[in-house]
Amino acid sequence: MFDAKESHSTRPYLIRGLYEWCTDNGFTPFIAVLVDETVRVPNEFVKDGEIVLNISFDATSALQLGNDYIEFKGRFGGVARDILVPVDRVLAIYAKENGQGMAFPLLASNSNSASPAGEGAPIAPAAPLAVSTTLTQVSSDKSEPGNPDGPRPSGGGSGGRPSLTRVK
Q: 158 near 50, Cβ under 8 Å?
A: no
For residue 40, tell me if it sits in a domain.
Answer: yes
Number of domains in the chain: 1
Residue with the larger pLDDT of the pair 110 and 62: 62
For residue 25, tell me if it sits in a domain.
Answer: yes
For residue 70, tell me if it sits in a domain.
Answer: yes
Indicate which CATH number applies to the domain containing 69: 2.30.30.220
For residue 16, tell me if it sits in a domain.
Answer: yes
User: For residues 106 and 73, what is the distance between their CA atoms, to the nearest angstrom?
Assistant: 25
Q: 9 near 87, Cβ under 8 Å?
A: yes
- Nearest-5° angle of CA 24, CA 144, CA 28? 0
3-class SS of residue 90: strand
For residue 84, tell me if it sits in a domain.
Answer: yes
pLDDT at residue 59 greater than cutoff 50: yes
State which amino acid sits at residue 74. Answer: G
Q: Which tens digit of pLDDT belongs to each residue from 72-118? A: 999 999 999 999 999 999 999 999 999 999 999 876 544 433 333 34
Average pLDDT value over all residues in the chain: 75
Question: What residue numbers bound the domain in which 79 lies?
Answer: 4-97
User: For residues 123 and 136, what is the distance between their CA atoms, to the nearest angstrom?
Assistant: 6
pLDDT at residue 119 greater than cutoff 90: no
For residue 135, tell me if it sits in a domain.
Answer: no
For residue 138, tell me if it sits in a domain.
Answer: no
For residue 166, tell me if it sits in a domain.
Answer: no
- The reported pLDDT for the residue numbered 68 is 96
pLDDT at residue 157 greater than cutoff 60: no
0.75 exceeded by the pTM?
Answer: no
Phi and psi, residue 23, nearest 5°: -70, -40
- The reported pLDDT for the residue numbered 106 is 77
pLDDT at residue 10 greater than cutoff 90: yes
- The reported pLDDT for the residue numbered 129 is 31
Residue with the larger pLDDT of the pair 108 and 6: 6
Residue with the larger pLDDT of the pair 24 and 136: 24
Residues in the chain: 168
